[in-house]
Amino acid sequence: MSSALPPRVRIVEVGPRDGLQNSPSRLTTDVKIAFVDALSEAGLTDVEVTSFVRPDRVPQLADASEVMGGITRNPGVRHWALVPNAKGLAGAIESGVTNVAVFTAATDGFNRANVNASVEESLARLKPVIRDAKDAGLRVRGYVSTVFGCPYDGEVEPVAGARVSRTLMDAGADEISLGDTIGVAAPGDVDAVLDAHESMGVSRDAIGLHLHDTRGTALANVYAGLQRGIAVFDSSAGGLGGCPFAPGATGNLATEDLVYFLGRLGIECDVSLAKVAEASGAVGAEIGRPLPSRARAAWEASTR
Amino acid sequence: MSSALPPRVRIVEVGPRDGLQNSPSRLTTDVKIAFVDALSEAGLTDVEVTSFVRPDRVPQLADASEVMGGITRNPGVRHWALVPNAKGLAGAIESGVTNVAVFTAATDGFNRANVNASVEESLARLKPVIRDAKDAGLRVRGYVSTVFGCPYDGEVEPVAGARVSRTLMDAGADEISLGDTIGVAAPGDVDAVLDAHESMGVSRDAIGLHLHDTRGTALANVYAGLQRGIAVFDSSAGGLGGCPFAPGATGNLATEDLVYFLGRLGIECDVSLAKVAEASGAVGAEIGRPLPSRARAAWEASTR
């Protein structure tokens, strides 16, 4: 009954950006740099470091340039930065960023709340940013939020996300990350969304899944994705973060849970669960809140 | 790619027994009765009420007879009681129990720690209990713990659990529940264990899965089970409990998470998530500890 699963998965670690963006605590630049470096040393090949957004909107990430300048560059690690617009892209390039992510959503409601624009308007704004990034020789990732459900618009047709992905790919994006922003998806939704992408001609190899564990379904959705040949998954060390613009949206899939799961399935990712757990533990201690990762808690119990 | 999933699932709610058995708090008999009744009213067709074990071993459940005598009987609900031996069975029958569960493990290490007997010795002790229960006209469920991994013996061969299941079925058990006692399984393990049961001629229709969410993998394993046609799953309201004999074993799959997941997959179970969440919330308030269920937390956030 089991389909052939991909032999290897690439994890995109989003904790330093997506995780800390939500944190009520302000971490020092040194703590952030140490976090990113610890994650790189844990074996993660892709680490989203920060976001070049307006400091008045996301003060937690106001030190984006300093963090980018302070981390240890490693040829085996792609360090990513989020850029909302041309100004953010310029700041990222100035800071030596070579991998940038742009973001939009599948729904107008979420986009209006988040970037004060409809989906169409947001895509129109992003196209020149993607083109400029490609012209500058950067790798570009396109995040599509609310693909599986929207806190404002409710249920979302699978084709809505696929249309946005298609547009981003046509604009030059190298890869797409499909977000279950409010953590409502089950495997049937993953199948439907991937079907829609297939119909729109978006290559499976360009697709990553960005799942939230808000209702405990994240790894089931990872499994559904694996069964469809998806081999890129986003996760956050310790399960840090969520999305500040979505009411009640908590619970990024934890990197520790994903690493455990892949290992037990015999799928390679070359990431050390213990090292990720140590890295998230150090940041969790700074934030002063328990980390939601379940595999991390089991690991911690095993070390006592 | 998606296999045909069962159109309907039966949930066996184990919170009042498996959940409370571990609680450091002693709940009053009235609170327990109200919990069981609230779960029945939530639509659960199978509720494990208590255990007729030695009160000195599990003092939390010393009021088994009083609880069984106090709950509201409902022809649509099977109320279950755990019985370890002939004495427990006699107590259960005296209290009007008509559905009993016996328990053993797939591994000697766990059985020795739990019931001071090897697997073979434990099965030899259970056979007459099952026979007597069947002679008394009861329905019998056989729990097999540590099928996917053992806190004492480590990795467990899939055939080990299948042999125990085969023996319990041959002894007269009506159904089997396969436990991932320490929450280590991933879908590949579910496939392997179900393959082994198929090889041993244990009918898929007799098998339920009792999954723990210790590492966040429970719903992924439910999905793997569904893809194999398994239509019975155990869960615990709020995610209460685990196993008192397994070090570090926490995290029963939460009923709320399972109900959400099945609903989103379009699989019927006729259980109200809100009513389960209200029931677990009332007990959680008594225990004074946060409930681990993620879907419950999302539900709670949605009600604010």
Predicted local distance difference test score (pLDDT) of residue A2:
47
Q: Rounded to whole angstroms, how far apart are CA atoms A102 and A232?
A: 17
The reply to whether A23 falls in a domain is: yes
Please name the member of A2, A264, A297 whose beta carbon is closest to the beta carbon of B191: A2
The reply to whether A1 falls in a domain is: no
The CATH number covering residue B91 comes to 3.20.20.70
Rg (CA), chain A: 18
CA proximity to A211, closest of A238, A185, A193: A185
Q: How would you label B199-208 residue by residue, b for 16+ Cβ within 10 Å and e otherwise?
A: ebebeeebbb
Interacting residues of A116 by C-beta distance below 8 A, sequence separation 6+: none
Please name the member of A214, A223, A227 whose beta carbon is closest to the beta carbon of B298: A214
pLDDT tops 90 at residue A24: no
Catalytic residue among B130, B232, B243, B287: B243
DSSP secondary structure letter of residue B156: -
Digit-coded pLDDT (tens) for B187-221: 999 999 999 999 999 999 999 999 999 999 999 99
Q: Rounded to whole angstroms, how far apart are CA atoms B22 and B248?
A: 12
The reply to whether A5 falls in a domain is: no
> Catalytic annotation on A243?
yes
- Looking at the complex, does the CB of residue B265 fall below 8 Å from at least one CB of chain A? yes
Specify whether the CB–CB gap between A2 and B188 falls below 8 A: yes
**Counting beta carbons within 10 angstroms of the beta carbon of residue B56, is it exposed (0 to 12), middle (13 to 18) or buried (19 or more)?**
exposed
Q: How would you label B252-287 residue by residue, b for 16+ Cβ within 10 Å and e otherwise?
A: bbbbbbbbbbbebbebebebebebbbbbbbebbebb
Digit-coded pLDDT (tens) for B22-41: 777 788 999 999 999 999 99
DSSP character string of chain A? -PPPPPSB-EEEE-IIIIIHHT-SS---HHHHHHHHHHHHHTT-SEEEEEE---TTT-GGGTTHHHHHHHSPP-TT-EEEEE--SHHHHHHHHHTT--EEEEEEESSHHHHHHHHSS-HHHHHHHHHHHHHHHHHTT-EEEEEEESSS-BTTTBS--HHHHHHHHHHHHHTT-SEEEEE-TTS---HHHHHHHHHHHHHTT--GGGEEEE-B-TTS-HHHHHHHHHHTT--EEEEBGGG--B-TTSTT-B-BPBHHHHHHHHHHTT-B----HHHHHHHHHHHHHHHTS----HHHHHHHHHH-
CA dihedral A46, A49, A52, A54 (to 10 degrees): 140
Contact B216 A295 (CB under 8 A): yes
Contact B223 A223 (CB under 8 A): yes
Count Cβ–Cβ pairs < 8 Å, chain A vs chain B: 116
Contact A188 B216 (CB under 8 A): no
The reply to whether A98 falls in a domain is: yes
- Looking at the complex, does the CB of residue B276 fall below 8 Å from at least one CB of chain A? no
pLDDT average, residue stretch A237-241 = 91
pLDDT average, residue stretch A60-75 = 93
Measured in degrees and rounded to the nearest 5, phi and psi for residue B271 equal: -110, 135
Confidence of residue A104 (pLDDT cuts 50, 70, 90): very high
Confidence of residue B87 (pLDDT cuts 50, 70, 90): very high
CA proximity to A211, closest of B174, B239, B248, B216: B216
DSSP secondary structure letter of residue B73: P
- Looking at the complex, does the CB of residue B266 fall below 8 Å from at least one CB of chain A? yes
- Looking at the complex, does the CB of residue B222 fall below 8 Å from at least one CB of chain A? yes
Mutate: best of B148, B215, B265, partner A, most A CBs <10 A: B215
Predicted local distance difference test score (pLDDT) of residue A281:
95
Q: Rounded to whole angstroms, how far apart are CA atoms B20 and B231?
A: 25
Which chain A residues have a beta carbon less than 8 Å from that of B223? 187, 220, 223-224
Digit-coded pLDDT (tens) for B114-143: 999 999 999 999 999 999 999 999 999 999
* Cα distances (Å, whole numbers) of residue B153 to A15, A57, A87, B148, B221: 35, 53, 58, 11, 22
Specify whether the CB–CB gap between A252 and A242 falls below 8 A: yes
* Predicted complex ipTM: 0.95
The reply to whether B3 falls in a domain is: no
- Looking at the complex, does the CB of residue B235 fall below 8 Å from at least one CB of chain A? no
Nearest-neighbour CA in chain B from A222: distance (Å): 8
The reply to whether A4 falls in a domain is: no
Q: How many domains does chain B have?
A: 1
The reply to whether A59 falls in a domain is: yes
Confidence of residue A245 (pLDDT cuts 50, 70, 90): very low
Q: For a pLDDT cut of 90, what percent of chain B falls above it?
A: 84
**Higher pLDDT residue, A258 or A301?**
A258
What is the identity of the amino acid at A285? A
**Higher pLDDT residue, A251 or A66?**
A66
Return the bridge partners of A105, or none: A145
The reply to whether A46 falls in a domain is: yes
Half-sphere exposure of B104 (CA within 13 A, CB side): 30
- Looking at the complex, does the CB of residue B186 fall below 8 Å from at least one CB of chain A? yes
CB atoms within 10 A of CB B170: 13
Mutate: best of B294, B303, B304, partner A, most A CBs <10 A: B294
pLDDT tops 60 at residue A246: no
Helix (H, G, I), strand (E, B) or coil at B27: coil
Domain boundaries, position B284: 10-303
Please name the member of B189, B223, B302 whose beta carbon is closest to the beta carbon of A187: B223
Confidence of residue A243 (pLDDT cuts 50, 70, 90): low
pLDDT tops 70 at residue B250: no
Digit-coded pLDDT (tens) for A110-157: 999 999 999 999 999 999 999 999 999 999 999 999 999 999 999 999
Which chain B residues have a beta carbon less than 8 Å from that of A180? none
pLDDT tops 70 at residue B59: yes
CB atoms within 10 A of CB A3: 12
- Looking at the complex, does the CB of residue A261 fall below 8 Å from at least one CB of chain B? yes
